[in-house]
Chain A
């Protein structure tokens, strides 16, 4: 039994070397499939992370009308500060709001000119709220309505929040679709290449195979080497891929972090904690892929 297995493995390895260039191409294609698959997984995780970051750092500004007295503003602030789900509450006086606006538009002569033409400060006080989690967004809105604030203040950023999230979701959706398409494309090529490699193997071994049949080798003994060959392709590509991927991610992470800024996604950390899962998932997927295509090749070309 073990002896037969050893002989089948020998046969498979022999086959691998006899067509070494075809084997190299096969391994390369599976490698590329792994690249696109892993990128897809990581991009998925990163875009989720980015979305969460945008959602959780969303500031909501309540801009009061200038007629609302300072006392009322402070009262509102105190009430809101009491809410457990608001993490930060800052209050800007009308003067500070004006100064902030001026600073923001310092370059724009038209805006500054228009502002200077006014005799009164057009700004009211501004309360900036930061939610501890976006899940509380509806609760906060309800609360603001209950306090009758809709008449006294204008809520800002709602629209822009929705736009940002929609935009991000749109982009990550497109990236995902692209990722699926690329992975699917490579998977298809991999199936064809493995199929062809096994077909070539069967062709090159046709004499051995016919002798094996003649002298009474069982059909699983004849088929076994070709399945083992598929296994060999899988193991070699996966090993090669992860041997290169892990150091690559390690050196790439600092650049990525610099690029992502406050999204703060630790790619390396993520990969290390989920390495087992990702590897296992991909190994099973590639194994299925190679085994199925080699079985199709055998069904087609190996009559035993």
Chain B
């Protein structure tokens, strides 16, 4: 279970997260939507322990991520994977070596076994042909999938996705959404997904939280979000120009 307790974060005196509290249950797929620049990535980075809140905290399975030593954080991170917005592949390693990196660095398995695991995940994400390519030679969508493959090889119990379907074609996008659901059904993975893709959100989410001006203005099932009365949420999901959100 992931608990955000009164998470408060400012950057240069600008409030980004204003006392956010939410409990994400084990095995839940929790989707965060919101305008660009509202702090969705910042929220994920707090959960991953990459940013420290000004006050409040993130608690994962009863252990506080915020303010903990690097040892404790690494212990929590060992069951966690993050799919970054840009893929975040190490630029001087090939796709295959990137995916193998976490296994090789921690020497969990013999090399032959590592290769097998890597090949399996690359095939799953239709990346096997790109195995020996460098990150600079593949498309944005492929980078993102390679980032996902690198997460999957570690069999995490918690996966944080930062816009996993943006920059993918509609078919691949559905494939990733399906994969997220599959991870949950087969392995009981808890997922926190930041997305702008409403179709994907409705399909994968158990609950959707709408982040606006540093606060969660609504957090509910996809059904209730679809039929929301909240003016901000309505405008956001319909992508309308008229409403309380200032578009200029």
A, B in one complex: no
Instruction: Give A contacts to B, CB under 8 Å.
Output: none
Instruction: Give B contacts to A, CB under 8 Å.
Output: none
